[in-house]
């Protein structure tokens, strides 16, 4: 787990730490069930007060990103199905868990196709349903899926899906891997939900570190959650040398970007942001998009 903390940033150390842990989970650098360092071990490594680490951990437990077990270290919230293996689960639950575990181990969908053929043939989906509570992130995921698959993706919140489970019928449901344990029990067992990992920001951070003079760095996104995470992730690379500004898209004042030296834009904003130095951040990790495309093509082949 790579964490970078800037103690001089206006973003609190606790927030930087919490948001970077969340991002590590969303980008699959921290795996479901993986244990985090102890409070004191992480505090020593980052050279920060152990109370700060403890507060960040407690915040993430309250927000269900981490779970605690008595006498053990905190772990990333496990995929719900894995724990069910020891609880007399049925065959469909075992197959769902097997698909997910195989994916995390690097096996392709093709290599499993023969064993799950019956499952793939049952109720093949004809569209994608994105389940995400943040409206901005949901729009971004829908747009990136539309661009990758060439078809529209519907979207809803988890509460919407709970209230109207029929929304998942006929759909290939996707959700951030941090939410998959809540989403998968709500969709047909014959078409298990697909977890999405988010892209890392390593290239963007490297770009900031190479800036030779003090610069104004702007982040533009349709998602408030996206902007909040960006502030914490970029803070260590910006330090006091650079200034960061963030704007929700669409911009109230198109001239707001004139002073920017560098602009990071999400997949929706970048289509309309006019600036000579715009860098695109794709939310969904390429591997997740590729897996989704392969799964959808496989289902659609059965339909024909």
Q: How confident is the model at residue 104 (pLDDT cuts 50, 70, 90)?
A: low
- What integer pLDDT is reported at residue 134 of this predicted model? 95
In this prediction, residues 32-38 reach a mean pLDDT of: 92
109 & 144 share domain: yes
Q: Is residue 136 domain-resident?
A: yes
pLDDT tens digits for range 280-298? 999 999 999 999 999 998 8
pLDDT tens digits for range 198-227? 999 999 999 998 898 999 999 999 999 999
Q: Are 65 and 25 in contact (CB under 8 A)?
A: yes
18 & 64 share domain: yes
Domain span at residue 101 reads 80-198+286-303
Q: How confident is the model at residue 84 (pLDDT cuts 50, 70, 90)?
A: very low
Number of domains in the chain: 3
DSSP annotation of 284:
B
189 & 91 share domain: yes
Any residues with CB less than 8 A from the CB of 29 and at least 6 apart, and which? 1, 2, 200
Percent of the chain with pLDDT over 70: 87
Q: Is residue 6 domain-resident?
A: no
pLDDT tens digits for range 243-277? 999 999 999 887 889 899 999 999 999 988 888 89
244 & 125 share domain: no
Distance of CA 91 to the CA centre of its chain: 29
Q: Is residue 1 domain-resident?
A: no
194 & 208 share domain: no
- Strand, coil or helix: what is 71? coil
Q: Is residue 3 domain-resident?
A: no
pLDDT at 3 over 50: yes
- What integer pLDDT is reported at residue 304 of this predicted model? 53
Tokens for 196?
């999405």
129 & 175 share domain: yes
In this prediction, residues 4-11 reach a mean pLDDT of: 91
| Helix 135-149 with 224-238: angle, nearest 10 deg | 90
- Strand, coil or helix: what is 181? helix
134 & 274 share domain: no
184 & 87 share domain: yes
Q: Is residue 118 domain-resident?
A: yes
155 & 275 share domain: no
Q: What is the pTM of this model?
A: 0.76
124 & 228 share domain: no
- What integer pLDDT is reported at residue 298 of this predicted model? 85
Q: How confident is the model at residue 81 (pLDDT cuts 50, 70, 90)?
A: very low
64 & 92 share domain: no
How far is Cα 236 from Cα 242, in angstroms, rounded to an integer? 11
- What integer pLDDT is reported at residue 114 of this predicted model? 61
Q: Is residue 190 domain-resident?
A: yes
- What integer pLDDT is reported at residue 109 of this predicted model? 67
pLDDT tens digits for range 105-149? 677 767 766 655 545 445 578 899 999 999 999 999 999 999 999
- What integer pLDDT is reported at residue 85 of this predicted model? 43
Q: Which of 60, 76, 92 is the last residue of a domain?
A: 76
| Helix 286-303 with 135-149: angle, nearest 10 deg | 60
- What integer pLDDT is reported at residue 116 of this predicted model? 56
The strand ranges marked E within 53-196 are: 66-67, 75-76, 127-131, 153-156, 171-176, 194-196
Q: How confident is the model at residue 190 (pLDDT cuts 50, 70, 90)?
A: confident
């Amino acid at each position: 787990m790579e964490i970078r903390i800037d103690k001089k940033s206006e973003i609190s150390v606790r927030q930087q730490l919490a948001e970077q842990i969340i991002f590590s989970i969303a980008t699959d650098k921290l795996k479901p069930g993986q244990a985090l360092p102890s409070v004191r071990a992480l505090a020593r490594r980052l050279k920060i007060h152990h109370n700060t680490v403890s507060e960040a951990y407690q915040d993430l437990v309250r927000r269900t990103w981490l779970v605690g077990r008595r006498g053990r270290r905190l772990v990333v919230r496990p995929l719900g199905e894995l724990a069910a293996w020891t609880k007399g689960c049925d065959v469909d639950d075992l197959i769902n868990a097997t698909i997910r575990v195989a994916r995390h181990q690097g096996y392709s969908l093709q290599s499993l196709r023969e064993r799950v053929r019956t499952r793939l043939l049952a109720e093949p989906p004809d569209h994608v349903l994105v389940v995400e509570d943040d409206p901005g992130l949901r729009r971004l995921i829908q747009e990136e899926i539309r661009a990758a698959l060439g078809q529209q993706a519907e979207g809803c919140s988890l509460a919407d899906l709970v209230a109207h489970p029929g929304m998942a019928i006929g759909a290939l449901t996707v959700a951030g891997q941090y939410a998959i344990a809540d989403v998968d029990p709500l969709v047909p067992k014959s078409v298990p939900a697909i977890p999405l990992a988010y892209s890392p920001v390593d290239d963007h951070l490297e770009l900031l570190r190479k800036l030779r003079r003090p610069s104004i760095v702007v982040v533009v996104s349709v998602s408030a959650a996206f902007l909040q995470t960006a502030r914490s992730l970029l803070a260590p690379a910006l330090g006091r040398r650079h200034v960061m500004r963030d704007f929700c898209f669409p911009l109230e004042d198109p001239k707001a970007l004139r002073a920017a030296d560098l602009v990071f834009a999400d997949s929706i904003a970048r289509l309309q942001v006019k600036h000579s130095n715009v860098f695109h951040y794709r939310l969904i990790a390429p591997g997740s998009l590729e897996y989704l495309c392969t799964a959808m093509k496989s289902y659609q082949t059965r339909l024909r």
